[in-house]
Structure 1
Amino acid sequence: MSGLDASASAASLGSVQGPATTNVLVTPIAGFHTERERLLSVNLGGKTLDSIKTKTYTIEHTRERWYERFFWDKEHQNFVGKHDVLGPIALSLLKEKVVSSADEKKYQYRAILWTKKGMLRCYFPKKSNKTADVFASIADACELQRSSLNNLMLVQKEQQQKLSTDLLKIESMETSSRLIFGVVFGRNNQTSLEDMLLNEHGSETFTQLLDVIATKVDVNTFQNKDLMKFAGLSAKSETTSDGVESAYYTEFDGFEIMFHVSTLLPYVASDMQQVARKRKIGNDIGVLVVHEGTGGFSPSMTSSKVNHVFGMLQVDKRQNTHVQFRFVTAAKDEVPAFGPVLQEELTVFDDPAVFRSFILTKMINGVHAAYHHAPGFRRETTQEKLLDDLLNRYSSRNRWVSWSSKHARRRSVLISPAELHAGLCASCLKPITISETGVSALGKSWHVNHFVCAHCDVAFGTSPFIVNPQDNKPYCEKDYEDLFCPRCQACEKPISDYVLQAMGKTWHMLHFVCDECQEPIGERLFVEKDGKAYCLDDFYKKFGFACAKCSELITGEYIEALGRRWHTQCYTCFSCNKSINGPNVNAMGFPWHPDCFCCQVCRKTFDDGCFFEHENRPYCELHFYDITGSLCAKCQEPILDDQIVRALDKSYHADHFCCMKCNKVIGDNEHFIEHEAMPYCQGCAVEFESST
């Protein structure tokens, strides 16, 4: 952040369209788009949360659990195959009766096409029983070539239930009913999240707003421990330094929502970065900023790569139980527009239930829009591997492809009577007579009962078998998997399809999961600690070294200075943000260029090494006392003791608050008269008024 104060920066940008205002609520910057600012008048003294049931806005960008809702407990068909463009895919197809129709024979199809880009859903009237026609209708609905699904293969009936379980797990990875929002409290002229996280406590309005949106819960007695773990929150104790005593939680429209409230997260007075708070809120996609005072919010000063959507509520004025907020949202450019959008310049929420519905819906839609469209959250590689895993395991054509292409399944072939003279049985070396059944396999002929598994001696008949390249002998599938296939470290069962190798062990694709969030890691980056695997997000939350500036996980080279670690590119001057290649000043926990470490008002450097700190910025003595309201208005000297008089929006030494005419000190219990912003004792005021 530069040395200019927030008000100067905002003034240089001019005004924006919207409610009449002289300062910009969210600073326009490249990489972010903002909505038109609106005014919200909210009744914060209305109904309690227990009575709030209202839902008046629409959830957008959602990924409804179609498979769980419509397919899971109903008879349907699953197909697998490979698409020329999308790669491995799966198709779930359900024929259902049209509920609104009285015609018992009227049906429709409902379908889910599972692709690396996500789940494509559609439904359409049943017009034909031909598979090719049904597939063509699905292709049309998904905007694919009509013939591109013709190579899909129906999964065998005995495998359908197992595949359904796998599809349900994949759907649960894409559609979560659990959400985490960050909520940050800001004070006057605080323009970045980093500044706002330094606030140890909130305000009465901040608490009232939270109480309307959600319910404050005691972490020690809160029953939903899984959600607490999902939010990375734990109870405060003597053995944990990052525990919390309470948190805010609510249920809304089928979602379980936990809030990372900045003022409820651990506060360390000596930590100017508040790393414990940044670890939580820096990993929230959506953050609601509640600001009391002047100065706009600048997303450019937020270093987290995860934060994509910001909702800004700034207190504008108060009237009885209503508080009027200025409201605007800012989102990264890759996040598409999201509602609800308010058409009026001023919206009055007399019922706090309606405001709650609006603000929660807005934040949910913003998070959904970011998660499903922003590049940083796409999981195409993992999704493609999961679908490839399904294709290998459930394809009727390719189901005999093992974990290595060298171990392909084969089938023996019955020998026709005309071929019986071809040779002797390769096992007993006796002729295969006209009355006996023979099979052809591995380039030889066999009595049907003599072509057996090399391990269990059970005859194959025409069932599949696998030849082990090490001994060139045939084995039944079960014995081959038990004897030669690698085993999954998690379930200890043989892996006959795609093998994921990690941590010196082998795993089924769906079984190599993060120890914290239990989601499949796939081919994403992970960190191993104490024999356990963690996705980067959870490792960062639980163990990782956070860069002192950006709070992101440090995985490569770093600079260790001031008792903390920094990315090499993040070790920059705290004022101008440019790299430090020469002499520097270490102060207030950050490095500075010598010329940049100066009073934030007069720009004078501290040649004597003495400076005063206020809200994480350095000042000379004069301007420190000036901005903190401790500079005497009469003598312009600092007020160093507790004998301070505050009157007429100014501060005075106790013996300098004097009548402007007779210079008599006006004591604590004495009345005075104000004239042109100056104090007069009562005696002089009478004389002054009589003379005029």
Structure 2
Amino acid sequence: MSRSVCTRVCSQILKIGHDLPLILPPKLGGYWIDPPLQKFAETSPTSSHYGLDRETYDIMERDSEATYYQEFFRSRYHHSFTAVDPSLGPLLLSVCLEEEEKRLRVILRMRECSMHGVFSVSLFPNIPSAVELAKMLCDSVTVSRFDVVSYLKAPDLITAFDEHRVSLNFKFGVLYQREGQLTEEDILCNNEESEEFQEFLSILGDTVTLQGFTGFRGGLDVCHGQTGSDAVFTSFHSREIMFHVSTKLPFTEGDTQQLQRKRHIGNDIVAIVYQEGHTPFLSDVIGSHFLHCFLVVRRPFSNLEVVCLQVSVTAREDVPPFGPSLPDPPIFTESSLLREFLLTKLINAEISCYKAERFSRLELRTRSSLLEGLQAELSTRSQCMMGDSPVSTLSTSDGMRGVTEGSGGFIENFKRAIRVRSNSFDTLGGPRKTVGVPLPQKPKVTHTEDGSTFSFFTEYLIDIFVGNTDHLCWFLSPSPGCYRERWREVRHYRERTNQTDVRTDGWTDGRTDRQTDRCCFFVFQ
């Protein structure tokens, strides 16, 4: 919209008087407004709303199941499997047997989504295979087998994938619209902050100095002052929020577009507009591919003893509605209640905007790419670990340098080393030689009582049984909480085989209070 057209429209709008809505839709549509324009005519700005309960202000979760793996799997003994389905693409399955509850917990990750299920063990006469569990969650699965994941860093990589959309940090734009301003240029060129606008900013958060700021900075410069000296920041229900306030961002003389300001606000997804006066905000006035939603706040009457603020919302038509619902009428007289409402509404608005077509397509491409890369890495690293493929097929990064091709993999090296160590014990369990185990990753090193050195990793998810004649089991578990379960199995094995003495290296009698050495091995004599 040109400046001449905006001036003409503005003059026509201002002739209407004070009974103007906070937001006007664009001529070509494409936005929804809450409350609707026909509802606005019935709203009395002088009436009060009673019974508004801030406990109904629930913050939405962008992905409610993203932390299931961290919550239900990482602290338990579990397995993960990978496959590539001809139609579904890469698949990643995680299975955990919850023995106390007698149930199986399963997560199936696919390109479009992850599926989570909990099944009672009583449903199965025998423990089902990975393929059967995957088909129980998604009947479109056509693969005939899954490969077990035996890569040491798999839990970290899986957690990072599951939670790649989870964030407790948010950034929102703040625009200051004065009476008679209808264009993007006019709004972004405002430099002075009125006392009324400053009072509103104090409701949103605290004004902080950017130099040396250590909280979430939302893309602002905290070292060299290139994005202004101050900003508005707040913490809200364990979340950190940085506001890109237009009047606090750098002003460039002679630049009508104020690109320094638009560079930040135009890359936000949600912005809040504070109006002084009664000029409506046009939904599409700020040109941006990212901005999908605006919350508009106005003081309807300045001559009242009680300060009341009116709220309206507009968003692109493919953004789903989100809570909390506006009160009827949408008037707030208590600043603390308004703060709770606005911050919750802003967070939920951004989460809902991710469901719009532009962002959902981008998220699907990102997820597909991440899952494909994760499946390939887990599969290749696991083959290397088991000695099924040469190490040279992998990148030499992440501590892989120095491992020779065709070395047989970690498992084979480990078995050979353990057999040598097992033969070094006499009938009294005395050690005779020192053994070192070459590993394909930078290991943690522990020294046993006899002075021999064993290297090991944390968070290894499989059990290795080295021969019946060796009578040795090596357990590495994802957390100290797993040791009680592993120790119980060792005790049962000892009772079944009439073993009266168990030598423990790196752990003692199933204790779970040591946080540093997350592995143990038991030598039966």
Same fold (TM over 0.5): yes
> For residue 232 of structure 1, what is the amino acid of its counterpart?
G
Specify the alignment match of 2:82 in structure 1. 80
Specify the alignment match of 1:249 in structure 2. 233
Specify the alignment match of 1:117 in structure 2. 112
Comparing both structures, which one devotes a greater share of its residues to helix? 2
Alignment of 1:308-327 (within 5 A): 308-318=292-302, 322-327=306-311
Aligned partners of 1:57, 1:276: CA distance in 2, in Å? 34
Task: Return the offset for 1:262.
Answer: 0.8
Partner deviation per Cα, 1:194-230 (whole Å, 9 max, x = no partner): 3211000222222112212212212124222xx22xx
Specify the alignment match of 2:280 in structure 1. 296
* 1:344 paired residue among 302, 322, 328: 328
Aligned partners of 2:132, 2:14: CA distance in 1, in Å? 55
Shift of the 386–180 alpha-carbon distance from structure 1 to 2, 3 Å rule, reads same
State whether residues 59 and 347 of structure 2, in contact with CA within 8 Å, keep that contact through their aligned partners in structure 1.
yes
Shift of the 23–383 alpha-carbon distance from structure 1 to 2, 3 Å rule, reads closer
> For residue 383 of structure 1, what is the amino acid of its counterpart?
R
> For residue 114 of structure 1, what is the amino acid of its counterpart?
R
Aligned partners of 1:10, 1:131: CA distance in 2, in Å? 75
Aligned partners of 1:491, 1:291: CA distance in 2, in Å? 57
Aligned partners of 1:173, 1:363: CA distance in 2, in Å? 21
* 2:221 paired residue among 217, 234, 239: 234
Shift of the 205–155 alpha-carbon distance from structure 1 to 2, 3 Å rule, reads farther
Specify the alignment match of 2:337 in structure 1. 354
- Is 1:62 the counterpart of 2:53? The answer is no
Aligned partners of 1:384, 1:132: CA distance in 2, in Å? 28
Task: Return the offset for 1:186.
Answer: 0.7
Aligned partners of 1:289, 1:139: CA distance in 2, in Å? 49
* 1:106 paired residue among 87, 93, 101: 101
Aligned partners of 1:7, 1:317: CA distance in 2, in Å? 26
* 1:213 paired residue among 204, 219, 227: 204
Partner deviation per Cα, 1:634-678 (whole Å, 9 max, x = no partner): xxxxxxxxxxxxxxxxxxxxxxxxxxxxxxxxxxxxxxxxxxxxx
Alignment of 1:181-196 (within 5 A): 181-196=172-187
- Is 1:171 the counterpart of 2:162? The answer is yes
Specify the alignment match of 2:148 in structure 1. 155
Is 33-42 or 162-171 further displaced after alignment? 33-42
Tell me the SS of whatever aligns to 1:70: helix
* 1:203 paired residue among 173, 194, 208: 194
Specify the alignment match of 2:34 in structure 1. 35
> What TM-score comes out, normalization by structure 2 length?
0.63
Task: Return the offset for 1:80.
Answer: 1.7
State whether residues 113 and 120 of structure 1, in contact with CA within 8 Å, keep that contact through their aligned partners in structure 2.
yes
Specify the alignment match of 2:490 in structure 1. none
Specify the alignment match of 1:509 in structure 2. none
Is 385-394 or 172-181 further displaced after alignment? 385-394
- Is 1:272 the counterpart of 2:256? The answer is yes
* 1:367 paired residue among 327, 350, 355: 350
Specify the alignment match of 1:428 in structure 2. none
Specify the alignment match of 1:281 in structure 2. 265
Shift of the 395–288 alpha-carbon distance from structure 1 to 2, 3 Å rule, reads same
Specify the alignment match of 1:260 in structure 2. 244
Shift of the 492–382 alpha-carbon distance from structure 1 to 2, 3 Å rule, reads farther
State whether residues 94 and 107 of structure 2, in contact with CA within 8 Å, keep that contact through their aligned partners in structure 1.
yes
Tell me the SS of whatever aligns to 2:23: coil
Partner deviation per Cα, 1:270-317 (whole Å, 9 max, x = no partner): 221111100010100111111111221123222110111111112211
> For residue 82 of structure 2, what is the amino acid of its counterpart?
V
> For residue 60 of structure 2, what is the amino acid of its counterpart?
E
> For residue 167 of structure 1, what is the amino acid of its counterpart?
I
Alignment of 1:81-96 (within 5 A): 81-96=83-98
Shift of the 123–255 alpha-carbon distance from structure 1 to 2, 3 Å rule, reads farther
Partner deviation per Cα, 1:299-356 (whole Å, 9 max, x = no partner): 3222110111111112211366643333221112222111111252244443x33221
Specify the alignment match of 2:377 in structure 1. 393
Task: Decide which structure has the larger Cα Rg and report it.
Answer: 1
> For residue 5 of structure 2, what is the amino acid of its counterpart?
L
Task: Return the offset for 1:115.
Answer: 2.4
State whether residues 312 and 330 of structure 2, in contact with CA within 8 Å, keep that contact through their aligned partners in structure 1.
no
Aligned partners of 2:184, 2:116: CA distance in 1, in Å? 39
Give me the CA root mean square deviation: 3.8
Tell me the SS of whatever aligns to 2:346: helix
Aligned length: 385
Shift of the 323–6 alpha-carbon distance from structure 1 to 2, 3 Å rule, reads farther
Aligned partners of 2:176, 2:12: CA distance in 1, in Å? 23
> For residue 234 of structure 1, what is the amino acid of its counterpart?
D
State whether residues 192 and 299 of structure 1, in contact with CA within 8 Å, keep that contact through their aligned partners in structure 2.
no
Shift of the 363–91 alpha-carbon distance from structure 1 to 2, 3 Å rule, reads same
Identity, in percent, stands at 25
Specify the alignment match of 1:333 in structure 2. 317
Task: Return the offset for 1:73.
Answer: 3.2
Aligned partners of 1:319, 1:127: CA distance in 2, in Å? 71
State whether residues 320 and 355 of structure 2, in contact with CA within 8 Å, keep that contact through their aligned partners in structure 1.
no
Shift of the 395–134 alpha-carbon distance from structure 1 to 2, 3 Å rule, reads closer
Unaligned runs of 5+ in 2: 47-53, 406-525
> For residue 202 of structure 2, what is the amino acid of its counterpart?
D
Tell me the SS of whatever aligns to 1:175: coil
State whether residues 22 and 296 of structure 2, in contact with CA within 8 Å, keep that contact through their aligned partners in structure 1.
no
* 1:222 paired residue among 206, 213, 217: 213
Shift of the 333–373 alpha-carbon distance from structure 1 to 2, 3 Å rule, reads same
> For residue 176 of structure 2, what is the amino acid of its counterpart?
F
Aligned partners of 1:261, 1:255: CA distance in 2, in Å? 19
Tell me the SS of whatever aligns to 1:316: coil
State whether residues 181 and 187 of structure 2, in contact with CA within 8 Å, keep that contact through their aligned partners in structure 1.
yes
Shift of the 23–353 alpha-carbon distance from structure 1 to 2, 3 Å rule, reads closer
Partner deviation per Cα, 1:348-394 (whole Å, 9 max, x = no partner): 443x3322121111111110111244323523333223322333333
Shift of the 265–9 alpha-carbon distance from structure 1 to 2, 3 Å rule, reads closer
Task: Return the offset for 1:88.
Answer: 0.8
Tell me the SS of whatever aligns to 1:330: strand
Aligned partners of 1:115, 1:321: CA distance in 2, in Å? 58
> For residue 166 of structure 2, what is the amino acid of its counterpart?
T
Aligned partners of 1:78, 1:250: CA distance in 2, in Å? 40
Shift of the 151–201 alpha-carbon distance from structure 1 to 2, 3 Å rule, reads farther
Shift of the 222–294 alpha-carbon distance from structure 1 to 2, 3 Å rule, reads same
State whether residues 286 and 309 of structure 1, in contact with CA within 8 Å, keep that contact through their aligned partners in structure 2.
yes
Partner deviation per Cα, 1:397-446 (whole Å, 9 max, x = no partner): x965x9xxxxxx9xxxxxxxxxxxxxxxxxxxxxxxxxxxxxxxxxxxxx
Highest relative contact order (Cα 8 Å, sep 6+), 1 or 2?
A: 2
